[in-house]
Amino acid sequence: MSESHHAAGSDIRFAGGSLTIDLDALKANYAALAKICEPALTAGVVKGDAYGLGIDRVVPALAEAGCTRYFVALPEEGAAVRAAAPDATVYVLNGLFSEESGSLYVENRLIPVLNSPVDVRLWEVISGVSGERLPCAVHVDTGMNRLGLTVAEALSFAEENSLTRAVEPILVMSHLACADQPAHPLNRRQLESYQTVAAAFPGIESSLANSPGVLLGAEYHFSLTRPGIAVYGGALVSGSASPMRPVVTAEARIVQVRHARAGETVGYGASQTLARDTTIAIAAIGYADGYPRSSSAAGIPLRQNGGPGGHGFIQGRRVPILGRVTMDLTMFDVTDLGPDMVAKGDFIELFGPNLPIDEAAEAAGTISYELLTSLGRRYHRRYVGG
Ligand SMILES: *Cc1c(COP(=O)(O)O)cnc(C)c1O
């Protein structure tokens, strides 16, 4: 590659945004969850390129922390996990798309999560062709109405397969719809119907809990838990602060500081009128980087929570966004820092240790999961620890 050609985000001198990903914090979060779950094992959920943080870096870190089982959404993500963890057990949550997709599973020793009787038949066919009883996971829908066999379908599959032995289930699982609301009655209803199905698959691993499910108590752990967001530093229960260590720090470069007068407007749509003389820091970050337009301070009628919009953190203070977030730039009100405290070239934190990711997400009317999986390719990425 010639000197003049840089991949976007590859060089901090040219990047508008910077991501620091703390692999030690990731490992500590995994270890803390694994301890809560003992004697159950704790899997790593690395779908969505490890919640936007990179399967190639996250999987080896989790493996060092003792993780041996992984969940991805898609078979190509599974192949990436296989490359990073040669001996791991890798489950593909979205199941099987077609008979032709089978070779990718077989070549990479990926284990499909069978989500319907159609998936079961496909895997039986693929198993038949391979001449082996191929391992699979059985997903039962206990109240989410997303993926999974019905309880009745799962029970009849358990019975049939114990006779035909066409495929080899090694995991039975279900997924909670409301685990982040511990008092929601659906949690216990799902637990009870899952217990019925799990009993029909004796002697294999069994899994129900995602991150917030881990905190619902040991009876939700079975033999394997599947925390995702908590490992990446997100909150376990909606509305309460995360006990996990922050893993990602997102920062943006300030490319200009300007002064505007009371009564002037800021940004597209002239949606925000300044109430006072204002110092504005313009940061090189925007919705093209996955920084949500919905965290704009004004002019976003569709944001549901009606809150004031997002903040940045700089020089020990929280500073609000002004006007609308644009494609490549976002304006922050740094007046309260005092004169000449912010300069071109400084970096402002968008979320991280000083500005919890869940708060940044809530200000945008979204969740930490979406902020992480939307992180754009233009960020300079730096991995520390691990
Ligand atoms: C994403 C996902 C998880 C992890 O959920 P978190 O809320 O991130 O802990 C676990 N199980 C399934 C089936 C999932 O789709």
Give the pLDDT confidence of 285-326 residue by residue, as tens digits: 999 999 999 999 987 766 666 678 999 999 999 999 999 999
Instruction: Please report the domains of the chain, with CATH numbers, ordered by start residue.
Output: 23-232 (3.20.20.10), 248-384 (2.40.37.10)
Instruction: Give distance in angstroms: CA of 180 to centre of ligand 1.
Output: 12
DSSP conformational letter for 104: H
pLDDT in tens, 46-66: 999 999 999 999 999 999 999
Question: Which atom of ligand 1 lies closest to the CA of 234?
Answer: 8
Question: Is any ligand 1 atom within 6 A of the Cβ of residue 29?
Answer: no
**Annotated catalytic residue 47:** yes
Our separate counts of H helices and E strands in the chain read: 11, 19
Question: Which atom of ligand 1 lies closest to the CA of 51?
Answer: 8
The confidence band for 7, taking pLDDT boundaries of 50, 70 and 90, is low
Residues in the annotated binding site: 146, 327
pLDDT in tens, 248-260: 999 999 999 999 9
Mean pLDDT, to the nearest integer, of 1-5?
40
Residues in the annotated binding site for substrate: 146, 327
- Nearest protein CA to atom 1 of ligand 1, as residue: 228
CB count within 10 Å of CB 267 equals 22
CA 300 – CA 294 distance, rounded (Å): 6
Q: Is the pLDDT of residue 144 over 60?
A: yes
CA 41 – CA 179 distance, rounded (Å): 19
**Annotated catalytic residue 344:** no
The confidence band for 3, taking pLDDT boundaries of 50, 70 and 90, is very low
Return the SS3 of 380. strand
- Nearest protein CA to atom 13 of ligand 1, as residue: 175
- pTM of the complete model: 0.95
The confidence band for 4, taking pLDDT boundaries of 50, 70 and 90, is very low
Q: Is the pLDDT of residue 241 over 80?
A: no
Instruction: Give distance in angstroms: CA of 235 to centre of ligand 1.
Output: 13
Amino acid 300: pLDDT:
76
